[in-house]
Amino acid sequence: MRELKAIIIDDNELARISLKKDIEDQCPEITIIGESDGVVQGAKLIRHSNPDVVFLDIHLEDGDGFDIIELVPDYNGKIIFTTASDQHAIKAFRFSAVDYLLKPIDPTLLRTAVDKLLSQIHQENTDLSLLRANMSSPNKLALHTAEMIKISEVEEIIRLEAMGNYTNFFFTDGSKLLVTRTLKDYADLLEDHDFLRVHQSHLINLKHLNAYIKTEGGYLMMQDKSRIPVSVRKKPSVMKAIDEFAKK
């Protein structure tokens, strides 16, 4: 298992020091690469460092941990919540948190949470390997649904849209298919096939892009007439990718 990068976001300095020491003592796989004490700075730190996991306090002086998550919609790492109250536990797990640790944090429960984190990452890596193996040829993809396995030509995929832990595929013949994998899995798998992640919820095939419209906040017009939003953070990289694709 590779070393995992982590940051701690907590407005209590003593809590940050204590958690950092516990991580150093109990979790040698984790390296703390940064700390923050608030919403705005915490969001900036996540964008800048892109950690594998964030240890995130819920109650902060300038907001709460959920505000940070909403400020970094493109963050694909893991979150372990740390808080003095269990009243937000249900909401935390709706945000796909790995775990929810109550302060003062029990080092044994911290170790359990990190083991859960490692297990999730291992499973995701295994799933991605299986997805790659399911590509029956460089230009075909096996798509698993609840009812069947569909063999699809990569060229026939116009775009993908996230639906929670599922992904909707949209094809050139006007059909669509709900697949039992996350959008992130396919973003990794299709990165060498001219697919571009333009938003937390959208992955497009550049071969089926008709236009990039700069007005109304910026959006992409696809071959199927769909209008795909571009996240503010990704606009520069999206425009660069479109320019480079047009030169091929």
Q: What is the CATH number of the domain that holds 30?
A: 3.40.50.2300
Q: Per residue in 70-95, is it b (16+ CB within 10 Å) or e — as a string?
A: ebbeebebbbbbbbeeeebeeebeee
* Residue 18 · residue 26 · CB < 8 Å: no
Q: Are residues 169 and 238 in the same domain?
A: yes
Position 136 scores a pLDDT of 46
Which residues, including other chains, have CB under 8 Å from residue 243's CB and lie 6 or more apart?
Answer: none
Position 120 scores a pLDDT of 80
Rounded to whole angstroms, the Cα distance separating 132 from 142 reads: 9
- Residue 218 falls in which region: left (phi positive, over 0), alpha (psi -120 to 50) or beta: left
- Pairing type for strands 140-144 and 176-179 reads unpaired
Q: Where does a domain end: 130, 148, 171?
A: 130
Q: Are residues 107 and 147 in the same domain?
A: no
Residue 10 lies in a domain: yes
Residue 181 lies in a domain: yes
Where the chain has pLDDT below 50, the residues are 136
Prediction pTM value: 0.56
Position 218 scores a pLDDT of 86
Position 86 scores a pLDDT of 67
Q: Are residues 184 and 215 in the same domain?
A: yes
Q: Quick one: the chain helix, strand, coil %, rounded to 5?
A: 40, 35, 30
What's the number of domains the chain is made of?
2
Neighbours of 216 (CB within 10 A): 8
- 4 — phi, psi (to 5°)? -105, 135
- Pairing type for strands 53-57 and 30-36 reads unpaired
Q: Where does a domain end: 130, 151, 182?
A: 130
Domain that holds residue 198: 140-246
Q: Are residues 121 and 146 in the same domain?
A: no
Residue 178 lies in a domain: yes
Position 28 scores a pLDDT of 94
Q: Are residues 48 and 148 in the same domain?
A: no
Position 130 scores a pLDDT of 57
Q: Are residues 107 and 194 in the same domain?
A: no
Position 180 scores a pLDDT of 82
Residue 135 lies in a domain: no
Q: Where does a domain end: 106, 130, 154?
A: 130
Rounded to whole angstroms, the Cα distance separating 108 from 195 reads: 43
Q: Are residues 121 and 220 in the same domain?
A: no
Residue 165 lies in a domain: yes
Burial of 149 (C-beta count, 10 Å sphere; 0-12/13-18/19+): exposed
Q: Are residues 231 and 113 in the same domain?
A: no
Residue 104 lies in a domain: yes
Position 88 scores a pLDDT of 58
